Each structure stands twice: as C-alpha cells, then as structure tokens.
Structure 1
Amino acid sequence: MQLFFQPDLDSNSTSVGFDKDESRHITRVLRKSTGDVIHITNGKGLLFTGELGVVEPKHCEAYITKVEKLPALPYRLHMAVAPTKSNDRFEWFLEKATELGISTITPLLCDHSERKQINWERYNKIVVSAMKQSLQTFLPELNELTAFKDFISKQANLKAVKAIAHCEDGAKEPLKDLVSKEQQQIDVLILIGPEGDFSPEEIAFAAEAGFVPVSLGTQRLRTETAAIAACHTLALLRG
C-alpha cells in the first residue's frame, strides 16, 4: 500500500487534490490511472480510501470512498533529544523513531550542545516521509529547538513517567523496569543529552523537576542510538 499525506482532510471530506509533486509521483512513478484506488491519511488517525478521478501529471484528484479511524498507540512517548553535531545522525533518529512509534519530538539545546540551530522544515519532511513509509496515520509532533531549562520548567507539573538518561555515576533504574510499573495507558517523557552528555547542573535541575535517572544498558551509547534504544523499549513493552 502507498500512503499519501493530506493534513487538511477530515471525516466530512469527499475529495482530495494533489499538488504538482504528488501528482507527478502518482502518474509517472506509480503509474496510476483513473479508477485506481489510493490511500491517504491526515496524520490525525484517519485513513482515507480514494478513487482517482482526475489523473494528470500536474494535477490529480481522488474521490473519497471510505474513511476509517485507526487506534492510536497504547502509550504516548515524548523524546526530548539534543541534536547531534552530525546532522545525518539526528535525521536518522527522526526517521527511525517515527517508524517505531512516537508522539512528540523536542530538539534540546543543552550546555554541551554542538548543534545550536536546526532546519525544522527539513526535519518535519523527514518525519512525514517516515510516517508514510511505515503506513502510520498519526504524525508525530515536532517542536522547535528548545533551551533545556525552559523545557524542563514547563514539565514540572506534568503527569507522566519522566526519565533522564545520562552518563554520570549514581543510582539508575533500568528504563524497562520503570515503564513496566505502569499498568494502564501511559505518557512517557525521556531526555537524551548531547554527545558531551548533560552537564551536572542540568542533571540536578531535571531531578528537581521529578525526572528519574534511567539506564539503557551497560554500554555507552551515542546520542541517536540511546534515543532509538529508548523508543524500542517502549515499543517492545507497551506496543
């Protein structure tokens, strides 16, 4: 199945039009023709079945024949991750985290961050592409780059499992054990630091806001690897 993304569709929509790029993909790559069936999502859980009525290289249009509301994941995972110096590695994280299942992504600006700017539009395109490729109907929310302390201050009263993964010495609970304690649908927020790790001040600040230090295993992991390990843990235990 090939999945298309049209965020403006809702349950009352009766037709959908495609821009020049999507229309070229439909006609020249997929070689679709009038009467062929396609599938579209609005990124909010709706899956639309459409029948192509207009098929032209610069404009295609489909008539909606069926609308389904698909269930969300049985957990909500928010990953707050410091972007890596290598942009390719962080973009790999965005793609794989979306494929595994994630609700929200917040890029963090930390004391030891080597990347202090991001291209939000490019990152969002990667997330949209990964959603379509993995045939999901919920588009993860991608936030702008946010300063660490500003982000933590807004989470002080958040009702969720809040965890921070860092490399400093001290007691840490395995993430799988922390998550397994919850029996119902849960919200989880996990912090992953930059390549130089969180600073001691940031770790203390997060602890004051209720973040629990967690372990992702005995090996020291790169930023993007740690973030994917956390995503996979949630997907395996709660998915």
Structure 2
Amino acid sequence: MQLFYTQEINPQHNTFMLSEEESKHAVRVLRLGEGDRIHLIDGRGGIYETEIIDPHPKRTTLRVLSVTEEFGKMSYEIHMAVAPTKNIDRIEWFLEKATEIGLNSYTPVICEHSERKDVKVERLEKVAIAAVKQSLKAYLPQINPIITFTKFIQDIKHVDYTKGIAHCVDLEKKHITSTFKPKGKYLILIGPEGDFSEKEISQAIEAGFVPLSLGEARLRTETAALASVIEVSLLNR
C-alpha cells in the first residue's frame, strides 16, 4: 500500500490534487501512472483510496474511490510530556517508535535540569509523518510547542487525564498497570538526563500526578518514554 500524507483532503472531496512534492514523489520516484491506485491519509483518522487520473510531476490529480474514517482508532489516549534530550536524535527516535506503537500527542517540556532548551517542531512533525506512513496509521500525533515545566503543570492541572510522573528519586511509586485502567486518557511526564528536581516532583504530585515506576533499571529519558508508551499499549491490548 502506497501511503501519502495530506492534511488538506476531507471526505467531501471527489477529486484531489497532490502537492508538488508528493506529485514528484509519486511520478518521478515511484513511477506511478494513470490508473494506479494510492492511499492518502489526512492525519485525523481518514484513509482515502484513490486512482491517478493525471500523473503530472507537479500536480498529480486523483479520483477518490472510497473513504474510511477513524481508521485504526485506538481505544485510549496517551499524551507524553518528555524533556528534550541534549542529543535531539534521541527524542526523534522516541517519537518515531512511539508513533508506530500509538501516540496521540507529545509536548517537549523544559525542566530545571534540562540541557536542551529548544526544539524544531517542524522537524519533529516530519519524523511523526514518516512514522505514520511507515506503520500504516491514519492518525498523526499532535506535536505541541515547547513549554516550561511550571507552565505545563499550570495548564494541565484540571485536565481530565490519569496523570503519572516517572522519576529516579527514592520515593514510593506505583507501576503503570496498577495506576492506569484500560481505555483511559493518560498523561505521562518524563524528565531530562538529570531527572526532575525535587521541587518539580512535588509540583507534579500536588497537581495530581502519581509517581510511576518503570522497573529497577535506571533508564535514559527516551527509553523511559518509550517504555511508558509500550506499557500503556499492552495494558489496552
């Protein structure tokens, strides 16, 4: 199945024109021609079976044959708030794998011990789009702007999520499977390489976050984040 991502399409379209970039990929790279069929995803759960009627390298035109909405919709929602790592490749790796498994949204959070203070949202979106296409999904995770830890805690204090924070401080913690229930809405906080400060942990707990354990091993930021996504996926299998 050849998948193309285009957020502009909607179920009301009978025909659709690919962007110049996607047209070039279809015609010049994949060498598709008139009558060939491809699938489009809109990132909102819609998957569209289409037929090429004009294979132009700058403006390929398609006929929409069928539409499936809510394709592969998960029975739960997961929002990962993860401090960006000093080496941004690690966060890109996490985002790629988490998208393949199942992720609704990601927020990069700047903490007291963060070594990286910025991210390029556009680059992360490209990583997520590639992962969605590779894993044959129709939902694109929302990549939120970078935000400070304190502002993030204030903004989500009253949001209706089951909230958890994974940290390395020697405090009582619960495993994800004993904290989260299936088919829920989950928000998980993962800190930077230097972990959360004790002040940040206290702030999170006061805001309703439950301290989480991911096992005995000390995990890297991106490993802890991906382990959390996997645990939630298995909980809802």
Kept after mapping to 1: 8 A contact 2:168/2:195 = yes
Rounded to whole Å, the distance in 2 between the matches of 1:40 and 1:236 is 28
Identity of aligned residues (%): 44
What amino acid maps onto 2:218 in structure 1? R
Query: Which digits, 9 at most, give the CA deviation of each residue in 1:122-181, with x for residues without a partner?
Result: 1111111111111111111100001101001112112221000000001000112212xx
Rounded to whole Å, the distance in 2 between the matches of 1:99 and 1:137 is 11
**1:31 match:** 31
Rounded to whole Å, the distance in 1 between the matches of 2:133 and 2:16 is 17
Rounded to whole Å, the distance in 2 between the matches of 1:237 and 1:109 is 29
Rounded to whole Å, the distance in 2 between the matches of 1:89 and 1:170 is 27
Spell out the pairing of 1:119-138 with structure 2 (5 A cutoff). Answer: 119-138=120-139
Rounded to whole Å, the distance in 1 between the matches of 2:192 and 2:49 is 42
Residue 211 of structure 2, aligned match among 213, 218, 221: 213
Q: Where does structure 1 lack aligned partners over 5 or more consecutive residues?
A: none
What amino acid maps onto 1:178 in structure 2? T
SS in 1 for 2:60: strand
Q: Report how far residue 57 of structure 1 moved.
A: 2.0
Query: Which digits, 9 at most, give the CA deviation of each residue in 1:24-75, with x for residues without a partner?
Result: 2111222211001100011111110000011022221111010111251011
Rounded to whole Å, the distance in 1 between the matches of 2:206 and 2:150 is 12
Q: Where does structure 2 lack aligned partners over 5 or more consecutive residues?
A: none
Rounded to whole Å, the distance in 1 between the matches of 2:9 and 2:58 is 20
223-232 vs 16-25, greater mean Cα deviation: 16-25
**1:156 match:** 157
Rounded to whole Å, the distance in 1 between the matches of 2:17 and 2:234 is 38
SS in 2 for 1:56: coil
Rounded to whole Å, the distance in 2 between the matches of 1:74 and 1:141 is 17
Query: Which digits, 9 at most, give the CA deviation of each residue in 1:1-32, with x for residues without a partner?
Result: 12111111111111121122211211122221
**2:168 match:** 167
Spell out the pairing of 1:17-166 with structure 2 (5 A cutoff). Answer: 17-69=17-69, 70-166=71-167
Kept after mapping to 1: 8 A contact 2:41/2:48 = yes
Q: Report how far residue 109 of structure 1 moved.
A: 0.6
Aligned residue pairs total 236
* TM-score normalised per structure 1: 0.96
RMSD, matched Cα = 1.0
Residue 234 of structure 2, aligned match among 233, 236, 239: 236
Rounded to whole Å, the distance in 2 between the matches of 1:177 and 1:17 is 49
SS in 2 for 1:51: strand
Rounded to whole Å, the distance in 1 between the matches of 2:197 and 2:232 is 26
Runs of 4+ in 1 over 6 A off after TM superposition: none
What amino acid maps onto 2:140 in structure 1? L
**1:203 match:** 201
